[in-house]
Amino acid sequence: MVFRKSSLLALAIIAVSCQPKSGRELGATKSSAAQADTLRYEQETHLKNLRQLTFGGDNAEAYFSFKGKHLVFQATNEAWGADCDQIYYMPITGYSGDKPPLLSTGKGRTTCSYFMPGDKSILYASTHLGGEACPETPPVVGGKYVWPIYESFDIFVANLKGEIIKQLTDSPGYDAEATVSPDGKKIVFTSTRSGDLELWTMDIDGANQKQVTNELGYDGGAFFSPDSKKLVFRASRPKSAEEQKAYKDLLAQGLVQPTQMEVFVCNIDGSGMQQITNLGKANWAPYFHPSGERILFASNHHSPGGRQFNIFSIKLDGTGLQQITFDQVFDAFPMFSPDGKKIAFSSNRFNGGTRSTNVFVADWVE
């Protein structure tokens, strides 16, 4: 999360899609159900009735409400007045009018929104207490793509009018990447409060904050299993003295390098840690399949130059790797609807040769 798509997408957009027409030109408007599957590649047999919900800008991390009727997502879009990521929401059929409703303050940079139980409020992370302007995005550092870890990020709850009704974190340093358990009782998030980027949990009201992971490396992007008993997340694990020094040096600058990450699963207290992938390159944005027995995630391990990201599926024992999406540039952020019948993800497919990343929803086919 934490604007986490930006640097990985920077690898992908160098090879921007050569598709001749945009999704809208191909008839993938919000009401064109008959032509929806013109957006699906032939190999994508797990997807059906694929629909494009946004058209332009940088739209990502779209997550379903508890009832599965709405999506909350982050977007950078000059046409919407969002110079850096802000939080919006829309029905799963797409928004009406010029833009969807804005739920964040419009100040600072935001990330990682998620519906709260009852679907009448959301949580998200924001830097607005540290300043109203968009914080500076770091350039390539020493030839390395990096993600910013803004110390001014804290986690807030807002109602669907965009009014902040509670602040959940106020510790010094980075607090972001929060998601909610399916049973509505817990929140998992990433924090630097203990000196490294670790997973933490808290009760739904922000109380009882506990550290989950404690190994050197960036632990983030966590989601709960369908039974709310496990966490899946992506992590870097620098091993050599040189790798560890490089990681610590970047972290001291409020930066991390996202190009070496694997998918892990553990119990919500941190026990039972399992490394699920061992593919190399960047394996991230994991989410549990409704069965709880598989994980969908984004990866560029199959791309010789590392510039193509697709969604893959893998079993909890690390076997059964299967490619789910086949866009030439970027597919990521898969999430299943609560009933397991639909999947949302973000993609550069059919964007008319632009750099726009859009939100898509499809029926899931086993």
Q: Do the domain assignments include residue 325?
A: no
**How confident is the model over 106-116, as a mean pLDDT?**
98
Q: What percent of the chain has pLDDT over 90?
A: 86
User: What does R_g of the chain's alpha carbons equal in angstroms?
Assistant: 19
**Where residue 9 falls among pLDDT bands split at 50, 70, 90?**
low
Is 32's pLDDT higher than 70? no
Please name which of 85, 101, 36, 110 lies closest in space to residue 360, comparing C-alpha atoms.
36
Q: Do the domain assignments include residue 40?
A: no
Number of domains in the chain: 1
Please name which of 75, 94, 78 lies closest in space to residue 29, comparing C-alpha atoms.
94
Q: Do the domain assignments include residue 352?
A: no
Please name which of 285, 266, 152 lies closest in space to residue 211, comparing C-alpha atoms.
266
Is 242's pLDDT higher than 60? yes
Q: Do the domain assignments include residue 25?
A: no
Task: Work out whether strand 164-167 and strand 154-159 pair parallel, antiparallel, or are unpaired.
Answer: antiparallel
Which residue(s) pair with 295 in the sheet? 288, 314
Q: Do the domain assignments include residue 123?
A: yes
Lowest mean pLDDT among 71-75, 134-138, 264-268: 134-138
Write down the pTM of the prediction. Answer: 0.92
**How confident is the model over 8-20, as a mean pLDDT?**
39
* 47-100 confidence digits (pLDDT tens): 999 999 999 999 999 999 999 999 999 999 999 999 999 999 999 999 999 999
Q: Do the domain assignments include residue 81?
A: yes
Q: What percent of the chain has pLDDT over 70?
A: 90
- Mean pLDDT score of the chain, rounded to an integer? 91
Is 17's pLDDT higher than 70? no
Task: Work out whether strand 186-191 and strand 198-203 pair parallel, antiparallel, or are unpaired.
Answer: antiparallel
Judge whether 109 and 3 are in contact, CB under 8 Å: yes
The pLDDT value given to residue 8: 55
Cβ partners under 8 Å of residue 337, min gap 6: 64, 68, 92, 343, 344
The pLDDT value given to residue 140: 76
Is 132's pLDDT higher than 50? yes
The pLDDT value given to residue 23: 37
CATH for 136: 2.120.10.30
Q: Do the domain assignments include residue 37?
A: no
**How confident is the model over 165-180, as a mean pLDDT?**
97
* 324-353 confidence digits (pLDDT tens): 999 999 999 999 999 999 999 999 999 998
Q: Do the domain assignments include residue 216?
A: yes
Domain that holds residue 132: 52-318
Q: Which residue has the higher pLDDT, 137 or 25?
A: 137
**Where residue 35 falls among pLDDT bands split at 50, 70, 90?**
low
**How confident is the model over 283-305, as a mean pLDDT?**
97
